[in-house]
Structure 1
């Protein structure tokens, strides 16, 4: 927390009242402050002040009580705002936002001011959304950033020349090294899995190329329609279980046929849908029939949410 002092110092201001609790040299009560950056302890002590001096000790109705020579020696002091102390009001610490607004201290506003901001990622809602399954979202995040340890990536690590990466092949189809584009979903095995689930996500016309699937999802990323949420769930589950099956075959002797994996994906999404609520509509009725869901998840508009 102490390491944050340099970041938050200019945000913590004193709203001056009677000046009895404001340290004149160290507190931020004016744009010129802190005065300690201008005046050294020796200079302060030489004119009879101390480091504990309060604002009320150097300010009265006639102005500033420090030596006139300071005005010539330290011209920044001439930029201080002209104000009068109010004996009926206490000094108060406030937060000054990055926009220059004086506001009450709050964790949300403080975090927004001190954090490093970056442009919003347009596809973030594609993987991080309220109905998402966390472990599926994590794999999706890795896929989008191409951070999975696929065989084409591992081949680039061969700097010593001691390993023969030419023997690597996709554990799902054995047609060559796997890659992000190959696994999702151009591989013969993955392609059959995708063909078996995409109709349930109303994505029949979407090809097996990841770029086309990603493009379709980003087009509906901010939609709250039930079918668009389902499409994100289906794609995330498909990617997760394809990656899972790929690793199972690499590191164990266990294997599942593509139709078995299709059933696992659809069952997982169906269980998630059973925990959700849908508004009463023709589309909801079709979803219930398509996914064999109980009617208890349908709620009236007044009860939705």
Structure 2
């Protein structure tokens, strides 16, 4: 359904008090809406029909000091809900202004409360296959080597670089058995892991898996860029160590998923014994 872009005045209303700050023509203070939109720039003028339309709206709400100050209200519902509040909500306003699209199955894999923005961004671009991998650079007409930067074999694509490359598989395999029995082969397979019953029944397990997947993808992308732009390479063991450090730093700062439950960090460290292969 086509949604028209709202104007600022569609999001605000004014409860008239003393009338010192409200605009007669340009604020929405009657059920007619903005009077400038109803009557035009010339106002009601001498047209009797227009005066009859406006007069009943003026009588119940004359400005008065006894009514207090004018109060401006912000719309806080959707377009079908005409509710207004004294408090401004950036979330409600954004939901009114943005163009909505269908929910994608990977949204919770990329965007979640405990996520780190830089990890989420790289994961988002990976899911959309929008990172400048060598296969994409070649498709744009650039002359670059086609081989994967990490393993020097196979065409460097998103699927190969992050999941099918021997270097990447070694990193994933180190953590296999902690959260999953075999390394995932795509973002969709990570979603499948999260949806398993024993993961859903363990508080915080899905969050740890999602964060681990994002950290691995982020570290692999950084390693790829370091090799190209800095001519510096790290071993698989070094990347595994970096993933572990980043996971520790991230999880240590998070409160337990539920009151009385194990912390995210303890869950990550003990997950080999918690989750079946």
- The RMSD of aligned alpha carbons is 3.9
**2:275 aligned residue:** none
Q: Deviations over 1:36-61 (max 9, x none)?
A: 342544874xxxxxxxxxxxxxxxxx
Structure 2 match to 1:3: none
Match of residue 103, structure 1, among 78, 81, 85: 85
Q: How far 1:77 moved relative to its partner?
A: 2.4
Alignment of 1:1-305 (within 5 A): 7-16=7-16, 24-37=24-37, 38=39, 40-41=41-42, 44=45, 69-71=47-49, 74=50, 77=53, 81=57, 83-85=59-61, 88-90=66-68, 92-95=70-73, 97=75, 98=79, 99-108=81-90, 111-112=93-94, 115-119=97-101, 123-158=106-141, 164-165=143-144, 167-200=145-178, 202-217=179-194, 225-278=203-256, 279-280=260-261, 287-289=268-270
Partner of 2:172: helix, strand, or coil?
helix
Q: How far 1:203 moved relative to its partner?
A: 1.0
| Over 6 Å off, 4+ runs | 18-21, 218-224, 282-286
Kindly tell me the number of residue pairs found equivalent between the two proteins: 255
Alignment check: 8 A CA contact 1:15 1:94 kept: yes
Q: TM-score, normalised by structure 1?
A: 0.66
Q: TM-score if structure 2 supplies the norm length?
A: 0.71
Distance in 2 between the 1:75 and 1:185 partners? 72
More off after superposition, 144-153 vs 216-225: 216-225
Residue segments in structure 2 that go unaligned for 5+ positions in a row = 1-5, 273-277
Deviation by residue 1:65-114 (Cα, 9 ceiling, x = unmatched) = xx5x521xx48827954853466535733326242224324244773475
Q: Post-superposition shift, 1:181?
A: 0.5
Structure 1 unaligned runs (5+)?
Answer: 1-5, 45-66, 292-305
CA separation in 2, counterparts of 1:41 and 1:113?
35
String of CA shifts for 1:202-236, please: whole Å, max 9, x gaps. 11145433431244347799988233222122211
Distance, in Å, in 2 between the alignment partners of 1:290 and 1:109 is: 36
Distance in structure 1 (CA, Å) of the matches to 2:143 and 2:25: 69
